[in-house]
């Protein structure tokens, strides 16, 4: 009897799985019968909108496969070993140089990117380190920053610099990103050095600063929003300040970012050199700067748009641009510092990070 029950259960599950799984994979053919082309896009959550994808699919008669990445390094590692799955890739500014140096990217076809003029001009004045001329990349959104974010109501001290995070008054109050690059760059910058330094002495100084800060850290992680919104932490060194502010209008008055602690980390669209659909890839990137696409992204995710604000002003809520990040991020952009994780720096930081996190 037991056997029959289990067997029945499994058959039901198998049937369900096959129907949904098999059915939708054969759906590829029926959905785009005309062109039959597929574009593989690798991106981060929050950088594309469902309506943007479906809009593009309809206009060009193709199918877009969106894969979400959770770690740029995994992708880089796979691609270096020869994996060539993706056509369009969303790369953080800190890694663009690595991709370019490894010859993994194809130059963008600016003739195809007719919507270039829709992009806010200040964002394309200079590209990320390694692609300053924006030969291979274009910004996906407005600038993004990693920095110290404080809860104005509950933070016990005034914070003006990354060094202030070592203040004992903050014990158990600090949330911190676990991204090696951000940690060391932040410390290096606070000490007056280049955030991309691979000098051993400078890095050791940074390590000392981080070791003083670590006792204050309640949690390391990827997203600070949970700790800040619940009040578990009153300060955070994080990169998702924009998401925090876009999640709830109540956060506009509660939180602020400290400009002197910030480092830029904008995301960029790039095309894989191994891609066989570069024409389509260029069109995808171009489409992202249309009013429809930009509005879709703004309405689904919020954030500072890559396009000129006037373009989508009528498609979003009337107070969309009242969000403090709009002005703040624009103000910080001209003088912002960028990161580029070089091999030497990565190797050196890594050993230090292991020592820092193993409690030594």
Partner 1 sequence: MKKSEKSKRAKLANLIMQAPLAVWMIAFVLAPFALLAFMSFMTKGPLGIIQYKPTIANYKEMFNPVYATVIKQSLVVAVWTTILTVLMGYPLASFIAKVKAKTSSLLTVLLMLPLWVSGLVVLYSFVILLNSSGVINSFLMSIHLIKEPLELLYNNFAIIVGMIYMFLPFAVLPMYSSIEKLDPGLIEASKDLGAGPVKTFFKVTLPLTSPGIFAAVILTFIPCIGYYMVTDMLGGGTSLMIGNLIYRQFTVSRDWPFGAALSMVLALIIFLMVFIYTKLGGDLDDLGA
Partner 2 sequence: MKKKTLVNKIHKIYVILLFLFFYAPVAVMVVFSFNTSKANVVWQGFTTKWYSKLMGDSELWKIFGTTILIAVLTTVFATLIGTMGAIGYKKSKSRFAKLITNSVYFPIVIPEIVLAVAMFMIFNTAGISLGVPIIVIGNTTICLPYVYITVKSRLVGMDPSIEEASLDLGADRVYTLFHVTIPQIMPGIISGAFMAFSLSLDELIVTSFLADAGTTTLPMKVYSMMKKGVSPEINALTTIIFAVSILGVAAYLIFDAVKTHQDAKAKHKLVDL
Q: Angle 228-234-240 (CA atoms, 0-180°, nearest 5)?
A: 40
**Stretches 73-81, 108-116, 154-162, 208-216: which one binds partner 2 (CB under 8 A)?**
73-81
**Stretches 51-59, 201-209, 211-219, 323-331: which one binds partner 1 (CB under 8 A)?**
211-219
Backbone angles phi and psi of 120, in degrees to 5: -60, 120
Q: What's 63's DSSP letter?
A: E
Q: Which of residues 221-240 bind partner 1 (CB under 8 A)?
A: 221, 226-227, 230-232
Question: Which of 177, 148, 146, 151 has its CA nearest to residue 164?
Answer: 148
Asked whether position 45 contacts partner 2 by CB under 8 A, the answer is: yes
The least distance separating partner 1 from the CB of residue 351, rounded to whole angstroms, comes to: 8
- Interface pick for partner 2 out of 73, 222, 279, 350 (rule CB under 8 A): 222
Contact string (CB under 8 A) for partner 1, positions 10-39, x = contact:
------------------------------
Give the helix, strand, coil percentages of the chain, each rounded to 5: 50, 15, 35
Asked whether position 78 contacts partner 2 by CB under 8 A, the answer is: yes
Helix-helix angle 180-190:343-357, to 10 degrees: 100
Q: Judge residue 301's burial from the number of C-beta atoms within 10 Å of its C-beta, 0-12 exposed, 13-18 middle, 19 or more buried.
A: middle
Asked whether position 101 contacts partner 1 by CB under 8 A, the answer is: yes
Contact string (CB under 8 A) for partner 2, positions 129-158, x = contact:
------------------------------
Asked whether position 205 contacts partner 2 by CB under 8 A, the answer is: no
Asked whether position 82 contacts partner 2 by CB under 8 A, the answer is: yes
The least distance separating partner 2 from the CB of residue 23, rounded to whole angstroms, comes to: 7
Q: What's 118's DSSP letter?
A: G
The least distance separating partner 1 from the CB of residue 22, rounded to whole angstroms, comes to: 20
Q: Is 343 helix (H, G, I), strand (E, B) or coil?
A: helix
- Interface pick for partner 2 out of 5, 201, 314, 360 (rule CB under 8 A): 5
**Stretches 44-52, 157-165, 196-204, 343-351: which one binds partner 2 (CB under 8 A)?**
44-52
CA–CA distance, 181 with 61 (Å, rounded to integer):
41
Contact string (CB under 8 A) for partner 1, positions 241-280, x = contact:
----------------------------------------
Q: Is 298 helix (H, G, I), strand (E, B) or coil?
A: helix
Inter-CA distances, 177 with 9, 21, 55, 174, 308, Å? 43, 36, 35, 10, 31
The token duo for 109 is 């076809």
Which residue, 115 or 177, is less far from partner 2 as judged by CB?
A: 177
The least distance separating partner 1 from the CB of residue 245, rounded to whole angstroms, comes to: 19
Asked whether position 229 contacts partner 2 by CB under 8 A, the answer is: yes
- For β-strands 145-151 and 255-257, DSSP reports them as antiparallel
The answer for residues whose C-beta is within 8 angstroms of residue 202's C-beta and 6 or more apart is: 188, 191, 193
Question: Which of 4, 30, 337 has its CA nearest to residue 193?
Answer: 337
Residues at the interface with partner 1 (CB under 8 A): 1-2, 5-6, 9, 71, 73-74, 76-77, 80-81, 98, 101-102, 178, 180, 214, 217-221, 226-227, 230-232, 343, 346-347, 350-351, 354-355, 357-360
């Amino acid at each position: 009897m037991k056997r029959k029950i289990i067997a029945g259960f499994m058959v039901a599950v198998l049937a369900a799985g096959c129907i949904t799984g098999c059915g939708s994979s054969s759906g590829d053919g029926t959905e785009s019968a005309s062109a039959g082309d597929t574009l593989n896009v690798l991106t981060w959550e929050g950088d594309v909108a469902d309506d943007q994808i479906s809009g593009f699919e309809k206009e060009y008669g193709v199918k877009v496969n969106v894969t979400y990445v959770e770690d740029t390094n995994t992708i880089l590692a796979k691609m270096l070993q020869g994996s060539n799955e993706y056509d369009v890739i969303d790369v953080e500014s800190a890694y663009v140089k690595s991709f370019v140096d490894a010859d993994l990217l194809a130059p963008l076809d600016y003739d195809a990117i007719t919507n270039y003029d829709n992009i806010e001009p200040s964002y394309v004045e200079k590209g990320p380190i390694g692609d300053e001329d924006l030969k291979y990349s274009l910004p996906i959104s407005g600038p993004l920053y990693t920095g110290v974010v404080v809860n104005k109501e509950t933070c016990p001290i005034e914070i003006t610099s990354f060094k202030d995070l070592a203040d004992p008054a903050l014990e158990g109050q600090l949330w911190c990103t676990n991204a090696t690059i951000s940690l060391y760059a932040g410390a290096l910058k606070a000490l007056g050095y280049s955030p991309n330094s691979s000098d051993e002495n400078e890095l050791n100084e940074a390590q000392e600063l981080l070791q003083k800060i670590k006792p204050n850290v309640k949690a390391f992680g990827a997203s600070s929003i949970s700790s800040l919104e619940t009040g578990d932490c009153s300060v955070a060194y994080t990169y998702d300040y924009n998401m925090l502010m876009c999640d709830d209008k109540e956060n506009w008055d509660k939180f602020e970012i400290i400009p002197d602690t910030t480092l830029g980390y904008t995301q960029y669209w790039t095309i894989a050199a191994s891609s066989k659909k570069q024409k389509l890839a260029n069109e995808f990137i171009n489409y992202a700067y249309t009013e429809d696409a930009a509005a879709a992204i703004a309405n689904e995710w919020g954030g500072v748009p890559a396009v000129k604000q006037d373009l989508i002003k009528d498609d979003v809520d009337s107070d969309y641009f009242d969000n403090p990040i709009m002005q703040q991020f624009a103000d910080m952009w001209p003088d912002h510092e960028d990161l580029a994780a070089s091999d030497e720096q990565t190797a050196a930081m890594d050993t230090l990070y292991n020592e820092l996190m193993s409690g030594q």
